């Protein structure tokens, strides 16, 4: 196997880990009985992705000539790692704040992450023969999904702010304290979820740049 093929295989492994992590992240948000094991799986997949990136950088340091620009290979590994890191960050925040119930907005964003990572898995697999036109079409799909996730994030933030306003009007210190804490926790969590979709989009943009440099 050529070194270029080895880079491609590592890209494919990393996005496979991201798809698996996204699937288990959905389990965290939808099945309380299986949440603990699913959280563990997300953390394992993030570690697996780190190992892929380490192997990729090590291979890159020993390779003088590559089909793709070295800077593009580095960007690919970094973008893939960012996706997994963000999902790990979601799980870490869920655990640190002992979150057991999830907002409708957050569940919808997790579904978007599943869709985006699945689109990216197909895109990454096609890199050696992907056309600029097809790559641009996929970027358009992912951009629409990213915007949807951003709208959901703002919808969640507005709901949280409204809850705090209602708590203030209630003049009940306990109710207000709960609402403020909920806002603090969820603003962090929903933003980390939405950030995952940003990283997915950035990977797609990087792939488009790679394909265009190849003159396809």
Domain limits for position 34: 3-213
Q: Please, what is the Cα angle at 150 between 179 and 190, to 5 degrees?
A: 35
Query: H/E element holding 178?
Result: helix 173-213
| CATH number of the domain residue 27 falls in | 1.20.58.220
For 88-144, what is each residue's pLDDT tens digit? 999 999 999 898 889 899 999 999 999 999 999 999 999 988 888 999 999 999 999
Q: What's the CA gap between 141 and 161, in Å, rounded?
A: 31
pTM for this predicted structure? 0.91
pLDDT value, residue 110: 97
* 8 A C-beta contact, residue 138 and residue 123: yes
7-37 per-position pLDDT tens digit: 899 999 999 999 999 999 999 999 999 999 9
pLDDT at 74 over 80: yes
Q: Give the number of other Cβ atoms within 10 Å of residue 18's Cβ.
A: 32
- Give the chain's domain count: 1
The pLDDT score that the predictor gives to residue 215 is 65
pLDDT over 80 at 66, yes or no: no
């Amino acid at each position: 196997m050529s070194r270029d093929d080895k880079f491609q295989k590592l890209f494919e492994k990393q996005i496979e880990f991201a798809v698996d992590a996204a699937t288990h992240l959905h389990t965290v948000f939808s099945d309380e009985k299986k949440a603990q094991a699913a959280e563990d799986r997300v953390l394992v997949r993030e570690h697996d992705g780190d190992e892929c990136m380490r192997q990729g950088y090590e291979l890159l340091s020993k390779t003088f000539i590559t089909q793709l620009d070295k800077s593009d290979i580095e960007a690919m590994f970094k973008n893939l790692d960012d996706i997994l890191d963000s999902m790990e960050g979601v799980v870490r925040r869920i655990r640190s704040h002992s979150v057991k119930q999830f907002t409708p907005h957050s569940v919808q964003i997790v579904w978007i992450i599943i869709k985006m990572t699945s689109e990216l898995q197909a895109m990454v697999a096609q890199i050696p023969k992907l056309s600029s036109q097809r790559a641009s079409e996929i970027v358009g799909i992912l951009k629409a999904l990213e915007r949807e996730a951003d709208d959901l994030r703002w919808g969640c933030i507005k709901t949280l702010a409204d809850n705090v306003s209602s708590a203030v009007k209630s003049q009940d210190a306990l109710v207000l304290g709960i609402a403020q804490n909920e806002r603090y926790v969820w603003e962090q969590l929903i933003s980390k979820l939405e950030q995952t979709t940003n990283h997915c989009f950035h990977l797609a943009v990087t792939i488009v740049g790679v394909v265009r440099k190849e003159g396809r």
